[in-house]
Amino acid sequence: MRPRSACLSWLCSLALLGACRGERAPEPAASEPATASAGAKLDREALARGERRALLGALAMPHHYLAAQLGAHQLRCRSLLKSQVGSAAPQEVRQEVELRMDARGRYAAFKHTHPQHGQEVIWTGEHLYPRLRHGKFLKRPARPEEPAAIADRIAGLLPAYVGLLRRFLRVELKGTSTVAGRSALKLALGLEPNPPPPPRSASPARAWRQTIAVSSLSGVALLDKESGAPLSVELSARFRFSPPAGGAAPSGIPKAIDRNATGTMELSFEQRVSELGAVKAIAPPPEAETIDNPRRVRLELERQMLTGELPIGDER
């Protein structure tokens, strides 16, 4: 059985990223556009002018948009999250993501959140091969929207952090640069001096987000000049929040130890895109590591978990 402290770290991390089961992307403030969806397009003229809405929209784009713009590529993300609530022992969560996509849109991806927790998925265009860390791949067909949705979820750290910190983010265009042979817009990320009030949320699991107060925020981002796709991002932030007091915390954030407890979090994140046009064809995993035709109950549970469809509190 996993130690309790490790479980809390894992749950806290998932809740913060909006990746806890059943949660959706954060609601935008009235003055901000929503995080880009499948049909969204960037205003490239506004992007070139350095308009805040366009720059934030580019940073929040899901992976399937990046893939459509860049073709074959490798994406790597690393994040370190340190958190503490009241006088409780501090927690530390490291997350690592790697996704390799070939020219035909097939991919191999993994996301590791804890030494004993993580997931890996291979999509060959014919079959989906998901597995939990230290397990075997489950070979199965996929619904039409599933491969892109799973890739968005695994590679969704940057959009999630931008969604969490959006109203505090100041973005300034600082000229141009070059990344992997592509012209890029260079952005300086900083702390907005007068952030708008938090948006209202009808979800008790997300009420803690309205209490966030950011004390420091900095970073640099390089966006593909042609498409706005994030090619390189570094982001650091420190903020306070009020955790849920009493009762269960559906979001996974540990409840407050006392009524006056305050939580603090420190974030360090980086993302890099490389191997543009150079990723070799993705192949299925070895047969020895694969389970063909898995039991239906297990299959449906795994499918719900990977796509975020499992309701909060459902511990089947």
For residue 133, the SS3 value is: coil
Whether 183 has a pLDDT exceeding 70, the answer reads yes
Whether 117 has a pLDDT exceeding 50, the answer reads yes
Hey, what are 192's tokens?
Answer: 């907005």
For the chain, the domains span: 4-307
Whether 20 has a pLDDT exceeding 70, the answer reads no
Output the pLDDT for position 232. 97
* Residue 259 neighbours by CB distance under 10 Å: 8
Top pLDDT among 225 and 256 is at: 225
Hey, what are 303's tokens?
Answer: 């499918």
Q: How far apart are CA 117 and CA 2, in angstroms?
A: 10
For residue 164, the SS3 value is: helix
For the segment 263-275, what is each residue's pLDDT rounded down to a tens digit?
Answer: 899 999 999 999 9
